[in-house]
Structure 1
């Protein structure tokens, strides 16, 4: 799912991973620990020079279409 900003991306990822309308405290803590671990690994990869993964062709095509709509 595409999002407009970092806050929406966080909430989208949270809702997909927790899959509960009102998660209990332990589910929330487990999510935060997993997210912290994920970002720790991304940071290590970034400092190792691996950078971000390349965008898929589908994502590039969608973004190009959105950009074209904005120029009209």
Structure 2
């Protein structure tokens, strides 16, 4: 595709082609999901009435099943 050998570095190739690596793409898509669905998530200040330094962080829901823990909405918060 890019005319390089099989042993060439991916990081230099991704910079040359101006694309993100797979972990960066995953982080970007999770962040975009959280921003788009911000009304779906609760903050710590909406759960607790006490002002703490973590009051603006997203509240981590209680996950009873591993299926829910593997879902996007749980992954965004953790």
TM-score (norm 1): 0.29
Q: TM-score, normalised by structure 2?
A: 0.27
State which structure, 1 or 2, has the greater radius of gyration over its C-alpha atoms: 2
Greater RCO (CA < 8 Å, at least 6 residues apart): 2
